[in-house]
Amino acid sequence: MSRRRPALCVFPLALALSAIGATGPAAGDAGLPVDGAALLRTWAPPDYPPDALKENVGGLAMIRMIVDEKGVVASARSLDATDPRLGAAALAAAKKWGFSPALAGGRPVACSMDAPVEFSPALAARKRKPGFVPPPDQTPQLSPRSPAKPSATYSADYPDALLERRLSGLVRFVCTVTAEGHAVAVRVVAATHPDFVIPALRSLDRWEFTPGMQGDLPAQSEVGGDITFDATATGPAEVLAANLITAPDGTAPSVQPEPRVVADPVPPYDLLMKGEGGSASVVYTVDEDGRPRDVRVQSATRPEFGKALVAAVEACAFLRAFDGGHAVAVALMQRAQFPAVSPDAQDESDPIARLVVALRARRIGNPQGLDEQLTPVYRVSPEYPGALRKNGRPAGRAEIDFIIDRDGRARLPNIVSATSEDFGWAAATAVSQWIFKAPLRNGRPVDVRVRIPFNFKPPAN
């Protein structure tokens, strides 16, 4: 099966965050991260060009300056002027100005400043001496900022693990682009399935950026973008069938809500380690907003398989289904298979089997001695369990043990403790979608085992 190239778009961070309702660095921090702009300390008024004054020519000149870390005007240019003579006079004056330098992290830094300079024949008789401050509307201000833009992009491979499931995908990222044009501190803020995240990040590693600007200075900026993955499915019906989703009677639904955000059921840890597989099916309703509601176990070879599938479905989301032009609720059934892992499994291409074998042999250690601390790239919060919404909505907690594999994927979450089993499955399902920077020890990718607590608060509605 051929792999499709992803479509992509990149936009300023402010737009990225507003589009998804997320929070992050303020849009105003997208350029030079100054704590304080350069402040005018000494000012020299421009000399009115005699010929312009004689001709009664007035107007405005806009000057852009680079003020260095010592507060000196290192360079300046005229951005615009109503008359070239006024621009030249304003430029000559600006080169004499002195500043207290801008600060970033408490340290002096260079910055770009813009200053309008007004010339009025009517006011020309009022001689101003150096050292006086300019009129308030002519005080120098930080130059505007513009975000970085990609100058070279590369496609991402559609993940092999999802080929048969025919899911379309989206990964939304934000990153910091340095003044040198390097993307650092990449964070994924949304993904339709965790298997899309690592291919998207590998693609992004190769991207090149034109750095953002703060006036005439290259500057650090925050940008965000989407990488989308196209599947080969011809429509929602094909996607539902490929993901074992049908009407409750097992037939194709007459109205088909398309899966948008997909979470997979977590293999029950104890059964997985014992080499026991199984299956489960649940029934539920996708409401008019595309959210699964009233998820109930229909059958399960073990109760744990049913619990795992319920938690996974509750973490999913669908595009709204329409019938006759109106959004409608749709009843569905979903099945899941939980493969067994043989004690002597040797398939290195199967990450679950590889990790189970390594755990059985006690070959996975803790994060001590890593080259750098563990850094999350993508995390999702647990869904509050539907069953507990109907049972007084208690607060609760859970503790999850899991593996961060050598690619950075969170795998094999184990419910260590939970005030309610439903909280444990919700937390384990969330963890199974997390992505970290690949853990390294002595420069080599390794698997590590970690533990994290979760606290659940009653939802407002």
Q: Report the pLDDT value the prediction gives residue 343, as an integer from 0 to 100.
A: 73
Q: Report the pLDDT value the prediction gives residue 132, as an integer from 0 to 100.
A: 63
Measured between alpha carbons, how far is 113 from 324 in angstroms, rounded to an integer? Answer: 58
Count: domains in the chain: 4
Share of the chain above pLDDT 90, in %: 82
Q: How far apart are the first and last CA of the chain?
A: 44
In this structure, the answer to whether residues 24 and 161 fall within a common structural domain is: yes
Q: Report the pLDDT value the prediction gives residue 187, as an integer from 0 to 100.
A: 96
Strand-pair category, 212-214 with 145-146: antiparallel
pLDDT higher than 60, residue 390: yes
Rg (CA), the chain: 30
In this structure, the answer to whether residues 263 and 302 fall within a common structural domain is: yes
Measured between alpha carbons, how far is 402 from 12 in angstroms, rounded to an integer? Answer: 35
In this structure, the answer to whether residues 355 and 444 fall within a common structural domain is: yes
CA atoms in the 13 A half-sphere facing the CB of 236 = 15
Last residue of a domain, one of 94, 113, 144: 144
* pLDDT-derived band at 156, boundaries 50, 70, 90: very high
Q: Which residues contact 392 (CB under 8 A, 6 or more apart)?
A: none
CA atoms in the 13 A half-sphere facing the CB of 215 = 24
pLDDT higher than 60, residue 33: no
In contact, 456 and 389? CB cutoff 8 Å:
no
- State the amino acid at position 353 in one-letter form: A
Q: What is the mean pLDDT of the chain?
A: 90
Give φ, ψ of 346 to 5 degrees: -125, 10
Share of the chain above pLDDT 70, in %: 90
Measured between alpha carbons, how far is 297 from 299 in angstroms, rounded to an integer? Answer: 6
Q: Report the pLDDT value the prediction gives residue 133, as an integer from 0 to 100.
A: 76
Give the pLDDT mean for 419-446: 97
In this structure, the answer to whether residues 161 and 136 fall within a common structural domain is: no
Q: In the block, which residue shows the tokens 């940008």?
A: 223
Three-state secondary-structure class, residue 213: strand
Last residue of a domain, one of 286, 309, 338: 338
In contact, 132 and 41? CB cutoff 8 Å:
no
Measured between alpha carbons, how far is 91 from 84 in angstroms, rounded to an integer? Answer: 10
In this structure, the answer to whether residues 166 and 27 fall within a common structural domain is: yes
pLDDT higher than 90, residue 34: no
Give the pLDDT mean for 65-71: 97
Measured between alpha carbons, how far is 152 from 158 in angstroms, rounded to an integer? Answer: 20
In this structure, the answer to whether residues 182 and 247 fall within a common structural domain is: no
Can you say whether the dihedral through the CA atoms of 404, 410, 415, 417 is positive or negative? positive
Give the pLDDT mean for 440-459: 96
Stretch (H or E) spanning 265: none
344 inside domain:
no
In this structure, the answer to whether residues 376 and 450 fall within a common structural domain is: yes
Measured between alpha carbons, how far is 370 from 361 in angstroms, rounded to an integer? Answer: 21
DSSP 46-79: PPPPHHHHHTT--EEEEEEEEE-TTSBEEEEEEE
168 inside domain:
yes
1 inside domain:
no
In this structure, the answer to whether residues 295 and 373 fall within a common structural domain is: no
In this structure, the answer to whether residues 315 and 385 fall within a common structural domain is: no
Q: Report the pLDDT value the prediction gives residue 184, as an integer from 0 to 100.
A: 94
Measured between alpha carbons, how far is 235 from 365 in angstroms, rounded to an integer? Answer: 45
In this structure, the answer to whether residues 221 and 197 fall within a common structural domain is: yes
In contact, 44 and 93? CB cutoff 8 Å:
yes
* pLDDT-derived band at 118, boundaries 50, 70, 90: very high
Measured between alpha carbons, how far is 273 from 304 in angstroms, rounded to an integer? Answer: 14
Measured between alpha carbons, how far is 233 from 98 in angstroms, rounded to an integer? Answer: 65
What is the strand order of the sheet 278-286 is part of?
Answer: 245-246, 330-338, 278-286, 292-300
55 inside domain:
yes
CA atoms in the 13 A half-sphere facing the CB of 353 = 14
- State the amino acid at position 386 in one-letter form: G
345 inside domain:
no
Last residue of a domain, one of 172, 199, 229: 229
CATH number of the domain that residue 387 is part of: 3.30.2420.10
Q: Report the pLDDT value the prediction gives residue 283, as an integer from 0 to 100.
A: 98
67: how many CB neighbours lie within 10 A of its CB?
A: 29
Q: Report the pLDDT value the prediction gives residue 17, as an integer from 0 to 100.
A: 31
In this structure, the answer to whether residues 75 and 219 fall within a common structural domain is: no
In this structure, the answer to whether residues 273 and 317 fall within a common structural domain is: yes
427 inside domain:
yes
Q: Report the pLDDT value the prediction gives residue 134, as an integer from 0 to 100.
A: 85
Measured between alpha carbons, how far is 67 from 53 in angstroms, rounded to an integer? Answer: 30
85 inside domain:
yes
* pLDDT-derived band at 130, boundaries 50, 70, 90: low
Reading the block at residue 213, the tokens are 């600007």
* pLDDT-derived band at 26, boundaries 50, 70, 90: very low
Range of the structural domain that residue 427 is part of = 351-456
- State the amino acid at position 357 in one-letter form: V
- List the one residue out of 317, 325, 328, 314 whose CA is nearest residue 255: 328
237 inside domain:
no
Q: Report the pLDDT value the prediction gives residue 123, as an integer from 0 to 100.
A: 80
